[in-house]
Amino acid sequence: MWYYRLLTTLWHSTALPSIWPTPAGQRPTYASGFSSVKLILLGGARHAEDRARVQSIQDLAKELKITPHVEFIINASYPEMLSWVAKASIGLSTMVDKHFRVNVVEFMAAGVILVTHASGGPLHDIVVRLDGEATGFHAHDSQSFADAMRRVLSMGRLEEQVMRERARRWAVSAFAEECSVEGWEAVWKAYI
């Protein structure tokens, strides 16, 4: 699942091609059958520039011949977005050098396993180890995104559940409103 409101050109070179990057156009087993996966692009197209961006991604999906595996949900209501997040297996964040990505925290709080770009806040502050264990995955190019998604899709049920719970626990303990208020007050006490 991906929120496309803030897409960058990295999406074009990383996320879509990384869905099924196999030799000679072969598709992995999770591209068909009962266990097939689908990339859901979910978000808002607020103006002509956003609509053009969505169209360019739709065109790329056609060019890559993966349209059966990609679905665009445009201008979804908030309840519809929550419904999709509740069903998501993987949350993707391909934006480079972003300090803080609220959708990354939202995915973690919902127990969605993340694959984020290995930079900025998602690398250093958000998708970090908890008790020495991973809360998600980091990637830096289309191959490492593909490898990370393949890793998530091949996890056993118990391993997957444990990671989801760990990510949720970290998101709630580190980013809940109370934590932000306490941190803000602690920093400003020195100046008051």
Q: Which domains does the chain have, with CATH numbers?
A: 2-189 (3.40.50.2000)
Average pLDDT of the chain is: 79
Residue 167, φ and ψ in degrees, nearest 5: -60, -45
Residue-wise DSSP of 50-80: HHHHHHHHHHHHHHTT-GGGEEEEES--HHH
- Please write the tens of the pLDDT for every residue from 14-34: 455 555 555 445 555 555 655
Q: Identify whether the C-beta of residue 13 lies closer than 8 Å to the C-beta of residue 21.
A: no
- Please write the tens of the pLDDT for every residue from 132-175: 999 999 999 888 988 898 899 889 999 999 999 999 998 888 88
Q: Identify whether the C-beta of residue 118 lies closer than 8 Å to the C-beta of residue 140.
A: yes
- Please write the tens of the pLDDT for every residue from 115-141: 998 998 888 888 889 899 999 999 998
Alpha carbon distance 176, 166 (integer Å): 15
Alpha carbon distance 161, 163 (integer Å): 5
